[in-house]
Structures are given as C-alpha cells and as structure tokens.
Structure 1
C-alpha cells in the first residue's frame, strides 16, 4: 500500500493524493500564520500607544528612534548565534531551496523566521509580514512532506501549496494566493498543481477567517473612473510605478551586494538606525503601515505628506530588506504603490478637476502596479486588487497600469524582479528551463524499470541460470555489496549458449558483454535530479534505491536515459 502510494505520487498526473496533501498543508499553514499574526498583534497592543496595532505614529520621537535599533540588535544576535549570520529566511530562501535543494526546508529556518519576523514587525522595521508568512507556509508544508517521505516532485507541489496558503491567509485573497505561488515562487503554471494549491489556499483562508473574521484588510473606497479621459493618467501612474520599482530594485541590489561580507549583527543594527532616523520625521514608514495605506485609500493624506512618506519609505525599505532584516517586501511594495498612486490622483484632481476621480482610486491602482512591477507578478497583482475590491470594473484600468509598469521595469530599464535580483546578489541563479521544470514534475519511481537482478561479480553456472530464469533485462553487478556495473542480461545468456567450456564459475566482469558504470539515486528524487546525475558522470543508467534504515540501501529499480527522454516527450 505504501509503495503504491509512493509510486502514484511520483507520477506527473497524480490528482487525489496531492490534493489531500494540499488540503492538510493549507490547514497547517493557516494555523502557523494565525499564531504569527496573533503574536505580532498582541505584542504591538502591549507596546504601542492606545493598544492599537501599527500605531507607531503615537510614539514619541525617542522610542521611534530607539525601537528599530534595539530590535535590530536582537535580530542580529539571534541569527548570529543560531544561523551563524546566514540569511536562511524569506521568499528568496524558499526559491533557493526549490532551485538547489528540491524543496527540502529546515526546522531551524522556520523557527528563525517566526521569531525574527515577529521581532522585525514589533520593532517597527519597514518590512511586511507576507514574506515571513510565505517562508513559514512553505517550510511547514515541506516539513510535512519530508515527514511523510513523499517524492521530491510532490515536495515541490507542497511548497507551492504552503506559499499560496500563506498569501491567502494574509490578505483573505484565495485566488491571488494561488496565482502568486505559481507566478512568483514556482515560475510555472501546471494543471496538476492547481488542484492541491487551490485546496491549500481555501483551507488556509478558512482557518484565518475563523479567527480574525472576513473583514477586509484595506478600506477600499467605491471604485469607478469618472471618464475614459483619465486613462492617460492611469498610464502615467503605470510609468511612474515602473520607474519607482526599478529604483527600489536597484537600491536593494546595490545595498545587498555591498553589505554581503559585513557581520550580520552590524547590518541589522545599521538597518535599525536608518529606519529609526527616517521614523523621527515620518513615523508612517515604521512597520507594515497598513493604517497609512488605508488613509491613502480614503484620501486622508495631503500631497506633500504623501511624497515625503514615499521618499522615506524607499530609504527605510532599502535599509531593512537590503541589510537582511527578516521581513517581507510585498507589504512595503503595496505601501509605496498606495502613496505614489494617491499622489498622482491628487495631481490629476488639481490638473483636471472637471472629470478627475477620487485619489483613493489611484492609490489602489498604484498598489497593483507597484506589486506587479517589483515582483514580476502582473496576474497575481491584478487578481489581488480584484479580490480586494470585489469590483470587476477595476480590471480594465488595473490591466493598463500593471502592463505599463511591468514593461517599464523589464523592457525600458531591463531590470529583473526583486527576488531574482536578490538571488543574483547572493551569487545564485533561479533558472526556469522548460525541460528542467518538466522533469521536476515526475519522480523516478513512476518511470523506473523493475526488470533487473542484483548479483555478485563471480557466480556459478547454476546461479547464472537461476538469474536468467527470472527474465531480467539488466544485471546489476555488485562491488562490495554495492551495484557498480550494469550489464544486459542477454549478454550472459549468449555467453552460456556460445561458451564451449562449461566453467564452474563465471566472472561477469570478464566475459564478453556491454558493461556500463552505474550509480544510485534515491526513489524520492525527480527525473531532473536523475538527468543531472547521468550528465555529470556520463552514465547510461542509474539504479533506484530506498533507505528503510540508516546506511542501508534497498534496490527498487533501474532508470536509463531512454526512460527519461520518453517521460519528457509525454
């Protein structure tokens, strides 16, 4: 039963079992996100004036200056002691584990993200909670899969489930969570992944709503463009969103590269100092800042205030994310987009008062455009603002602003997405080769052959006949009880038929035959891992094994080049 389940999960077209795993991953992720949010919000109600969440504006200038510094010291000390200063958190860490470690994530990273993210948000750092949420969701789902010993192709699906569930639970936007996971984290859309990811997203939202209710995070005004004559202004908003996103990416990239060799404690403390200095002038830059976003959406901030907050938020976010504070970039991106959009909305009102829409409308469009351009996630951004407004009339102007913003960043300034840029700054490359992606969806257990026999190198004639009676296609010749050589069984049969001398013993390494060196691969591996191993050692075949006990390999099958090529063609 267990073996059949494993083989089924290895298939690229498996449906029911991945869906059930996705449902479980979504529930677990929802619980983790709820606990994280409760910790942050309860801590802020204790620390901040009037027991209000995100009320950093109510603090005097001295605690606004010192709180991020103290938080930076704590974060730096925590990561230095536990992770030796390595940055093992965030969405880019999830992408790194997907690209280089087949989605295997660690408990240590999950705990560091939970504690570090909470300290960052309690300390008023200019980061969002969605980045930590994605890491925690992905790590929770990955650890679930590792505990259940699922194949690596299913582990990748569980990473997608956890990422989608985290975004969905954070914003109450289940569809946007699914699209974000596919568009940003996985960088591919596959029919086989949609069902488990959708179930994970819906289940996580259900857990979140059961605790926090279904009240929207943002105060969205009634949306309408008063005239098609406003479309040029929407286009201008998209252009500036692309410019600002490019500026943010470049600033973060330069900061991350220059500070790469600095001690982590120094980086987080310096980040706290810069954020504290920014907060002395504009306290709105502290924390997630969704209260200020709501003010922009409701047109409650003046033009000069919007421009000032926008400028200092760029500086504070560059310091926080670029210097390694364990928070997210999505929240600051939405914040900056809201300030930019509201400012352009006011300018539109001053310039064309006869048909200008409310500035809050442009704040919402700015959020979508900035998110799309910075994350390279146009469809996720459009879906998010559609779900947040529940108003389909936003699609038309939203598409215009998002497309122009994305084209400005990618084609005019030739900048990668923020996550790709930060990965490159760390010397990593998250490639999206279609062949590799196709092979990553299939586990070796689903295509391996079981027509083999394992044998010592020296056997008797009688043993040879017994081997051939099992009708294997391939013989795996052992060296010190480990398969080292693969030989076609037909070559042994031919030798027995043609040999004039009936030897008592046959040395399979000496008889005329086609022999090839062989190496092993775990049955949880994907065909992508198998193809890489074959190419690295110039092999024709691998043997597939399981490890029911430490240091004990149990042979399960064989896999050759032709099987991999056939799977790709399918």
Structure 2
C-alpha cells in the first residue's frame, strides 16, 4: 500500500512554482532581503504614482477655483470662502452617504488598526474613497492636510501588492510600512521622515530587516516627486540655531507650551468626533464646513494645507497677534472638520499650529531677551517639531521632518529638546495619548497593549509547518496499518473529504493498535488555516477554536486547496517563547 505524503507530486511541480514556494517560506521567516528590497521598490513606485496623482488632482481644483493660484484662499471674498467650504463639505458628505456607506473609514488611524488587528489587509475601496474625498476637501479649502490621505493610499498600495502576489501576511506589514514611508517621502520630499514615521507610528517597531525595503520605497517615491515637482526643499530659510545654552530654558518652555497645545487639540478633536453622531453624514460634514468658512471670514490663513502660512511665519512676515489668532482658529477649524467626518490629514495642521505658536513665543521672547537670541524663525521651526511630536508621539519623525523640510542642521540639538519637552508635557502633564491611539482606545483597541502578539505578527506560520504527515488509508486492515507504520510519519491524519479533520501522532496510533483500541483514539481536532497567516493569527485561531493543532492549507495554481502539513500548539508555543 502506498502512503500519501505532503511531498508527493513535487517532481511534477513546475520549477517556477517551487521557487515561489521557497521564497514564500523565506518571507515567512523574514529572511528574504533581496525579494523584500524589490517589493519595496515596486511599492515605492506604486505609492509615489498615487500620491503624485492625488496632489495633481487637488492642485488642479485649486487652480480652477482660486483667483491667485494655489492656496490663495485669502484672495476670495469672504462669502465665497464660506460657500466654497460648505459646498465642498456637502459634496463630500453626499459621497460618503451614498458611495462609502458600507465602510467609510479612512486615514492613518485606519491604517494602524488594519495593520495591528487585520494583518495589514487594507481594502482597495477605502483608499478610493480617500482619494476622492481627500482631493475634494483640500481643493475646497478645508483645514486638513494631505499626508493622511497620502499615507492611507500609499499603505494600501503596498498591502494590495502583497495580497495580489499571495505573500505571507507578515510580509504585508513591511509592505504597508514601505507604502507609508513612500507616501510621506512623495508628499513632503522627506524620505528619512517617511521611514521614521512608518516605523514609529504605523508598525511601531524597528527591525533591520524591515528598514531596508522601507528605505528603498521612500527613496523611490521621493525621486518620483522630484521628477514631477522639482527638488526644492519645502521651506527655504537661512541657517538657524540657538545663540548659546542660555536659550535652552526658553526651548524647554516652548516645548511645554506646545505639549499643552497638542493636548488641547487632541481633546478638541475627540470632543468634536462625538458631536451630531446621529445626523446624516452630509449634514455633519456641512456643519464642519460652515465652521471653517465662518472662521475664515476673519482668519483666511486657516483654509487649505497652509504651507504658505508656515513659510510666512518662518520669514517673520506675520505679527504676534495674527499668529495667535491663526493658532486658535486653526485648532477649532481642524477639530471641527475632521471630527465631523471630512476625511483629511492632521499632520499638516499640527505643523501650522506649531509654527505659528512657536513664532508668537519667539516674538514675545525677542522683546524681553538680549540680542543674543536665535530669533522668532527658530522658535517657529522648533514649534513645528514640538507640536508634531507631541500630537503623534513620533519624536524621531518630527525631528527628521524639521531637518528635511528646511535643510537646517542647526536645529537638531534644540529640536530634540523641544520635541522631548513637548511629548513629555502632553503625556505626563496633560495626560493625553497619541491622537491616533486615543481614537482607537475609545473602541477598546490598543496595539501596544500586547507587545508579544505584535512580535508574533512579524513571523509567518510556514516556518513551523511539519510536513512529515500521512493520511490514514481508507482500508484500516492489519496489512494497511502495518505498511503505514513500517516507516511511520510523525503525524497521521484522517477525515472525510479532501481536507483532513483529525490528527494523531504515530506512536499513539501504534499503541492504540497494540491495545486493541480504535487506531485514532485520542486524536486531536484539526483546524484548517491558510498558509499565508502570521504566527499571531495562528495563536488567535487556536484560542478561538480551542484546538490543539492547525492544518495548513495551500491554494494551488488551479484554485484547488491542498493541505501542506500540521502545526501544533506546542510548536507555536516553542517559537512564540523562543
């Protein structure tokens, strides 16, 4: 009698198929650096193309709507600002109500949640919603940024690439990080900040294996942005630095104040998110648009992405009174419009609030301090980093963004101090969490709660598959069992149909036969699971099914399911604890 082992038929498997299976196994263990580098480059190309298309779309809308070109909302009469904001919000609300009704969630918080709890499986439809509504929001002057939509679309590009190729789910996490870094790089032309943001905010881990493809993706997308939009840095300013250590207390004070501002912004955003929750989406978004439009009657600088306002603050072209007015109006407008359902980014608004608040502090300090003072522009720049770091809990991303956006290495030391003070202030003095994790925590989710499960997400189940299996023959007479047990496999499987449902080790089968018991007495129930799953998914599946072993199933090129081997609870525990 012949024994049907997992390895039967390998001789007839095409060479390319065997190569794919080998690479999937290496990806499952995180030991395929060349393959991941290529995938990182492909993700960078895809994410870069999407972000460039997104930017060209909303810029085309602004060029058609604004009298003076990009970001010239100040050139509109006051009533037109109100109409534009409300009309844009209404169109977005109608779209969300009729086309995105099934799952309207978008943005960076959605990417974090899907990465942490759904094995980085990002649906394409949500990214399409983000592309359309994000473009409408920015073109119609809402107080939102472009980085949130960009990150969502870039991360989805990486996830979709991995899903299309059928890669192990632990690889999807890296590709999502690649797409995130590529999106930040293409949006801001800041590849290093993109890498730091992806690692700090989205996947929340630093690994050498993960760094390389993410770096390649960020550089690829940034190079594409340079080709299309030029290689100029975002804010061209003179070299800035503190004039001595006597300024360090002021830098710390700035960080503490910006930490408080970040806490106020986060709490305002969460408060606005709970307002009018029973209203239809179109009415909620229109209320948000009305808030933006009314505030823009008095402070038009709050409309749009607002990098022109940042440039003016860095150049010292705005007085302290107007800077403070922009801070207050920007905080209220951004919290209202995002909280009431207009999809957009919040990193850009934090940079504007930080720059204007820091510039105001610098101007006040300039009147009180001696000439040996870094100047308001320095404190506007430090305010940007402190506000971003405190709001996102991403200190390294904030620091590298300050450096790359201005090409100003003199801000590294004071920037580190301001960001540290701001982050500690928001966390310890004002007791606020990251804006993204606070929103998730309200729904009982916190990916940082179980770091061991997060670590298990980095490993695939393929490395634990025991292929030394055989099916119990249909005829279990003495001759058949003798043939099976002559050179016994480690595991013997049984069950109706093509997919076995029970498993028993060969020693137990032999002991059962010798004792006259049913040969599969004491067999464990097998739970089928896809070969692409991560170790974390396997653990959660066993917990949910209260099972002892998993049957790993592989989908062949012809679409048929074929079992690949067995993974036991003991094998998972060994890998998990090691």
Report TM bin, short chain: over 0.9
**SS of equivalent residue, structure 2 residue 553:** strand
Say yes or no: does 1:32 pair with 2:50: yes
**SS of equivalent residue, structure 2 residue 249:** helix
Q: 2:136 aligns with which of 108, 119, 126?
A: 119
**Residues in 1 aligned to 2:513 and 2:241: alpha-carbon distance in whole angstroms:** 85
Instruction: Provide the residue aligned with 1:21 in structure 2.
Output: 39
CA 1:466–1:81: 2 relative to 1, 3 Å: farther
Q: Deviations over 1:348-383 (max 9, x none)?
A: 111114322221111100000000000000111111
**After the TM superposition, which residues 422-441 of structure 1 pair with which residues of structure 2 at under 5 Å, given as runs?**
422-441=439-458
The answer on whether the counterparts of 1:221 and 1:297 sit within 8 Å (CA) in structure 2 is no
CA 1:491–1:56: 2 relative to 1, 3 Å: same
Displacement of 1:261 after TM fit? 3.9
Instruction: Provide the residue aligned with 2:538 in structure 1.
Output: 530
Q: Deviations over 1:122-154 (max 9, x none)?
A: 010100000000000001111111111111000
Instruction: Provide the residue aligned with 2:494 in structure 1.
Output: 477
The answer on whether the counterparts of 1:41 and 1:53 sit within 8 Å (CA) in structure 2 is yes
Displacement of 1:456 after TM fit? 6.3
The answer on whether the counterparts of 2:513 and 2:519 sit within 8 Å (CA) in structure 1 is no
**Residues in 2 aligned to 1:190 and 1:118: alpha-carbon distance in whole angstroms:** 34
Say yes or no: does 1:138 pair with 2:140: no
**After the TM superposition, which residues 487-502 of structure 1 pair with which residues of structure 2 at under 5 Å, given as runs?**
487-496=504-513
**Residues in 1 aligned to 2:486 and 2:34: alpha-carbon distance in whole angstroms:** 38
Q: TM-score scaled to structure 1, two decimals? A: 0.94
The answer on whether the counterparts of 2:473 and 2:480 sit within 8 Å (CA) in structure 1 is no
Which range moved further: 468-477 or 168-177?
Answer: 468-477
**Residues in 2 aligned to 1:430 and 1:260: alpha-carbon distance in whole angstroms:** 26
Say yes or no: does 1:80 pair with 2:97: yes
Instruction: Provide the residue aligned with 2:219 in structure 1.
Output: 202
The answer on whether the counterparts of 2:43 and 2:179 sit within 8 Å (CA) in structure 1 is yes
Which range moved further: 455-464 or 144-153?
Answer: 455-464
Say yes or no: does 1:4 pair with 2:12: no
CA 1:425–1:432: 2 relative to 1, 3 Å: closer
Instruction: Provide the residue aligned with 1:406 in structure 2.
Output: 423
**Residues in 2 aligned to 1:366 and 1:156: alpha-carbon distance in whole angstroms:** 32
Paired residue total: 560
The answer on whether the counterparts of 1:219 and 1:298 sit within 8 Å (CA) in structure 2 is no
Q: 1:355 aligns with which of 368, 372, 377?
A: 372
The answer on whether the counterparts of 2:116 and 2:454 sit within 8 Å (CA) in structure 1 is no
Say yes or no: does 1:539 pair with 2:569: no
Instruction: Provide the residue aligned with 1:326 in structure 2.
Output: 343
Instruction: Provide the residue aligned with 1:503 in structure 2.
Output: none
**Residues in 2 aligned to 1:367 and 1:31: alpha-carbon distance in whole angstroms:** 28
What's the Cα RMSD here?
1.8
The answer on whether the counterparts of 2:357 and 2:383 sit within 8 Å (CA) in structure 1 is yes
The answer on whether the counterparts of 1:131 and 1:327 sit within 8 Å (CA) in structure 2 is yes
**SS of equivalent residue, structure 2 residue 501:** strand
**Residues in 2 aligned to 1:371 and 1:89: alpha-carbon distance in whole angstroms:** 20
Q: TM-score scaled to structure 2, two decimals? A: 0.93
Q: Deviations over 1:333-359 (max 9, x none)?
A: 000000000000000111114322221
CA 1:550–1:423: 2 relative to 1, 3 Å: farther
Instruction: Provide the residue aligned with 1:559 in structure 2.
Output: 567
**Residues in 2 aligned to 1:465 and 1:46: alpha-carbon distance in whole angstroms:** 82
**Residues in 1 aligned to 2:291 and 2:406: alpha-carbon distance in whole angstroms:** 35
**After the TM superposition, which residues 443-458 of structure 1 pair with which residues of structure 2 at under 5 Å, given as runs?**
443-455=460-472
**After the TM superposition, which residues 54-93 of structure 1 pair with which residues of structure 2 at under 5 Å, given as runs?**
54-84=71-101, 86-93=103-110
Q: Deviations over 1:276-311 (max 9, x none)?
A: 111111110001100011000101000111011111
Gaps of 5+ in 2: 1-18
The answer on whether the counterparts of 1:252 and 1:318 sit within 8 Å (CA) in structure 2 is yes
